[in-house]
Amino acid sequence: MKIPKSFELLGETIHIIKSQDLLDKTDNVGEADYRHNTITIQVPIGGINRPISYIEATYLHEVIHFILHRMGRDELNEDNSFVELFARLLHQILITSMD
Protein backbone atom coordinates (compact mmCIF):
# COMPACT_ATOMS: atom_id res chain seq x y z
CA MET A 1 0.00 0.00 0.00
CA LYS A 2 1.37 3.39 -0.94
CA ILE A 3 0.86 6.34 1.39
CA PRO A 4 0.07 9.34 -0.84
CA LYS A 5 1.37 12.90 -0.54
CA SER A 6 -2.23 14.14 -0.40
CA PHE A 7 -5.84 13.19 -1.05
CA GLU A 8 -9.18 14.96 -1.57
CA LEU A 9 -11.95 14.83 1.02
CA LEU A 10 -15.19 16.75 0.44
CA GLY A 11 -13.47 19.13 -1.94
CA GLU A 12 -10.50 19.85 0.31
CA THR A 13 -6.94 18.65 -0.10
CA ILE A 14 -5.50 16.81 2.89
CA HIS A 15 -1.69 16.81 2.88
CA ILE A 16 0.41 14.02 4.36
CA ILE A 17 3.54 14.97 6.29
CA LYS A 18 6.15 12.35 7.08
CA SER A 19 7.86 13.41 10.29
CA GLN A 20 11.02 12.23 11.99
CA ASP A 21 10.21 13.93 15.29
CA LEU A 22 6.45 13.62 15.84
CA LEU A 23 6.97 10.98 18.50
CA ASP A 24 9.38 13.26 20.37
CA LYS A 25 7.09 16.29 20.09
CA THR A 26 3.69 14.77 20.86
CA ASP A 27 4.30 11.16 21.96
CA ASN A 28 2.10 10.11 19.01
CA VAL A 29 2.90 8.15 15.86
CA GLY A 30 0.13 9.86 13.89
CA GLU A 31 -1.80 13.08 14.10
CA ALA A 32 -4.78 14.55 12.25
CA ASP A 33 -4.85 18.36 12.13
CA TYR A 34 -8.30 19.37 10.89
CA ARG A 35 -7.58 23.09 10.96
CA HIS A 36 -4.54 22.81 8.68
CA ASN A 37 -5.81 19.82 6.63
CA THR A 38 -2.77 17.72 7.42
CA ILE A 39 -2.02 14.23 8.60
CA THR A 40 1.41 13.76 10.14
CA ILE A 41 2.93 10.29 10.34
CA GLN A 42 6.04 9.29 12.28
CA VAL A 43 8.49 7.54 9.97
CA PRO A 44 11.12 5.05 11.14
CA ILE A 45 14.18 6.66 12.67
CA GLY A 46 17.29 5.30 14.33
CA GLY A 47 16.44 3.23 17.37
CA ILE A 48 12.70 3.14 16.60
CA ASN A 49 12.10 0.51 13.95
CA ARG A 50 8.43 0.30 12.99
CA PRO A 51 7.23 -2.12 10.30
CA ILE A 52 5.79 -0.52 7.17
CA SER A 53 2.47 -2.26 7.89
CA TYR A 54 2.26 -0.35 11.20
CA ILE A 55 2.97 2.95 9.43
CA GLU A 56 0.32 2.19 6.81
CA ALA A 57 -2.25 1.32 9.49
CA THR A 58 -1.35 4.53 11.35
CA TYR A 59 -1.98 6.51 8.15
CA LEU A 60 -5.39 4.84 7.73
CA HIS A 61 -6.18 5.50 11.40
CA GLU A 62 -5.68 9.23 10.83
CA VAL A 63 -7.66 9.13 7.57
CA ILE A 64 -10.59 7.57 9.43
CA HIS A 65 -10.37 10.34 12.04
CA PHE A 66 -10.61 12.88 9.20
CA ILE A 67 -13.58 11.11 7.61
CA LEU A 68 -15.49 10.86 10.89
CA HIS A 69 -14.71 14.50 11.70
CA ARG A 70 -16.00 15.67 8.32
CA MET A 71 -19.11 13.51 8.79
CA GLY A 72 -19.76 15.15 12.15
CA ARG A 73 -19.60 11.78 13.90
CA ASP A 74 -17.80 13.06 16.98
CA GLU A 75 -18.89 10.16 19.20
CA LEU A 76 -17.21 7.67 16.86
CA ASN A 77 -14.24 9.94 16.19
CA GLU A 78 -13.50 10.14 19.92
CA ASP A 79 -13.66 6.34 20.27
CA ASN A 80 -10.02 5.60 19.50
CA SER A 81 -10.43 1.83 19.90
CA PHE A 82 -13.16 1.90 17.22
CA VAL A 83 -10.95 3.99 14.90
CA GLU A 84 -7.95 1.69 15.49
CA LEU A 85 -9.89 -1.50 14.77
CA PHE A 86 -11.50 0.09 11.69
CA ALA A 87 -8.03 1.10 10.42
CA ARG A 88 -6.55 -2.36 10.94
CA LEU A 89 -9.48 -4.04 9.19
CA LEU A 90 -9.31 -1.61 6.27
CA HIS A 91 -5.54 -2.09 6.05
CA GLN A 92 -5.96 -5.86 5.88
CA ILE A 93 -8.48 -5.52 3.05
CA LEU A 94 -6.24 -3.13 1.08
CA ILE A 95 -3.06 -5.20 1.37
CA THR A 96 -4.73 -8.54 0.64
CA SER A 97 -7.02 -7.46 -2.21
CA MET A 98 -6.39 -9.28 -5.45
CA ASP A 99 -7.53 -8.48 -8.98
Residue 26 lies in a domain: yes
- Mean pLDDT of the region 21-40: 90
Q: Which amino acid is at 40?
A: T
Residue 84 lies in a domain: yes
Q: How high is the pLDDT of residue 43?
A: 86
Orientation of helix 52-71 relative to helix 80-96, angle to 10°: 120
- Provide the residue range defining the domain that includes 57: 6-96
**How many C-beta atoms surround the C-beta of residue 35 within 10 A?**
5
pTM: 0.91
Per-residue pLDDT band for 48 (boundaries 50, 70, 90) equals low
Q: Is the pLDDT of residue 11 over 80?
A: yes
Structural domain total, the chain: 1
